[in-house]
Structure 1
Amino acid sequence: MMKTSKKIMIIGATTSVIGLVGLVPSVYFWHFNRQITEAAASNVHMTTVTRPTVVEAPKTITGKPSRLIIPSLNKDLPVADGVYDVKTGQWSLSLNQAHYALMTVQPNDKQGNTLIYGHYRPEVFATLHTIQLGAIVQVMTSNGHTFTYKYVGSKTVVPTDTSILSYEGKPMLTIQTCTGAFMQNRQLFSFDLVNVK
């Protein structure tokens, strides 16, 4: 019986020693890792990462022209749709109203040229050549916007010069009418956008 209890004691002591031998490194590494973690934490600067704010581009303010007002010339004209026939070189025209060239951009606050044209007649644009630099023109749209433009200059072109139809720069208005001794040319009056309401 003594032998059995001695064996149990030896097995118990051996198990205890093995347990301690296994426990000591675990305690050591736990303590060592804790010290490293605490040291690292004291040297870390917290950085907050935020998502970039997505800013939507402002929507374009635009509308189809319905009226053209030139206060300095006492003009308040209705604006009808107008087209240019490339084959014949002819514009659709009426005797007493202006026309919006449908192949150009509608008035807007981003870019492009809006072309409004009409006859050189007293009811329409016969006095347009007297407009002064800086004069204000307003285009009312069918959806309730008012585009205000300032007159900046004019040029005369031959009827076949349609380069103004491909303009893509800052927003502007061009008013076109006939000019010349026999009304054989076109005068283009240019206006820069001032504001939109």
Structure 2
Amino acid sequence: MLLFVAYQLWYTNVLAQRTADGAAGSLRQTWERLPQGDAAPPPAAFEPGQGFAILHIPKLDVKVPVAEGTSKAKVLDRGMVGHYADGALKTAMPSDKQGNFAVAGHRNTHGEPFRFINRLVPGDPIVVETRDAYYTYEMASVLPQTPPTNVSVLEPVPKGSGFTAPGRYITLTTCTPEFTSTYRLIVWGRMVEERPRGQGAPPALAAR
């Protein structure tokens, strides 16, 4: 029993972090191989489990790949965060001119990228790095607890966020309380800058 607990609480983090770091490195290498100023359009759709971005939360020292879909086996248990992209839960991409880019991540075990998102406060930066651009959001509001069935938090203008009109938003979702999956903790942000990759990292990342 003690070995199983150690595996769950420690070794799954080691394995997931190794996988996530490798995925982030592969993404960066792929982007760097593109010709300078390459204007080829991104894929119309990504395959389930395919990494396509890197999420940065500077305050929490989080840098984690974002993959398509929220499959535990293909995405979440591999230490990545997953983009809600399936059926009625499909949400926007950062490059969309309106919408809500929503992602899920583990709060405990398997890399636990969202363990401390409850520590974010309004104004804290959240940056999504893609092949073509950096998208900077500012944390705006939090819903400390809601049932997993409350999918209205993923809507283009998410319910409970305080947003009242269409815009460019981000939603982070994870389980709460810690070490359970009874409820969901939701953090929302509003996009404040879109910066082409060729201009370098935004101020939120430049000093890191």
Q: Offset of 1:140 from its aligned partner?
A: 1.0
Q: Offset of 1:164 from its aligned partner?
A: 2.7
Q: Is residue 173–residue 192 contact of structure 1 (8 Å, CA) maintained in 2?
A: yes
Q: Helix, strand or coil: the match of 1:110?
A: coil
Q: Is residue 55–residue 129 contact of structure 2 (8 Å, CA) maintained in 1?
A: yes
Q: Is residue 138–residue 148 contact of structure 1 (8 Å, CA) maintained in 2?
A: yes
Between the aligned residues of both structures, percent identity stands at 26
- 1:189 partner amino acid: V
CA–CA distance in structure 1, aligned partners of residues 67 and 75 of structure 2: 10
* 1:29-64 CA distance string (max 9 Å, x none): xxxxxxxxxxxxxxxxxxxxxxxxxxxxxxxxx998
Of 118-127 and 154-163, deviating more is 118-127
Is the aligned partner of 1:158 residue 2:147? yes
Assess, with a 3 A threshold, how the Cα gap between structure 1 residues 95 and 83 changes in structure 2: closer, same or farther: closer
Assess, with a 3 A threshold, how the Cα gap between structure 1 residues 147 and 96 changes in structure 2: closer, same or farther: same
CA–CA distance in structure 2, aligned partners of residues 140 and 172 of structure 1: 15
What is residue 133 of structure 1 aligned with on the other side?
Answer: 122
Assess, with a 3 A threshold, how the Cα gap between structure 1 residues 79 and 170 changes in structure 2: closer, same or farther: same
CA–CA distance in structure 2, aligned partners of residues 93 and 170 of structure 1: 27
Q: Is residue 79–residue 97 contact of structure 1 (8 Å, CA) maintained in 2?
A: yes
Q: Which has the larger radius of gyration?
A: 1
- 1:140 partner amino acid: E
Provide TM-score, normalisation by structure 2: 0.56
Q: Offset of 1:144 from its aligned partner?
A: 1.8
What is residue 117 of structure 1 aligned with on the other side?
Answer: 104
- 1:128 partner amino acid: I
What is residue 170 of structure 1 aligned with on the other side?
Answer: 167
Q: Offset of 1:165 from its aligned partner?
A: 3.2
Aligned pairs for 1:1-197 within 5 A:
65-83=52-70, 93-102=76-85, 103-108=90-95, 110-121=97-108, 123=111, 124-141=113-130, 143-155=131-143, 156-168=145-157, 169-180=166-177, 182-197=180-195
CA–CA distance in structure 2, aligned partners of residues 69 and 92 of structure 1: 17
CA–CA distance in structure 2, aligned partners of residues 193 and 94 of structure 1: 28
What is residue 52 of structure 1 aligned with on the other side?
Answer: none
Q: Is residue 149–residue 192 contact of structure 1 (8 Å, CA) maintained in 2?
A: yes
Q: Is residue 70–residue 81 contact of structure 2 (8 Å, CA) maintained in 1?
A: no
CA–CA distance in structure 1, aligned partners of residues 93 and 120 of structure 2: 23
Q: Offset of 1:132 from its aligned partner?
A: 2.2
Provide TM-score, normalisation by structure 1: 0.59
Q: Offset of 1:121 from its aligned partner?
A: 2.2
CA RMSD of aligned residues (A): 2.7
Q: Which runs of 5+ in 2 are unaligned?
A: 1-41, 47-51, 158-165, 196-208
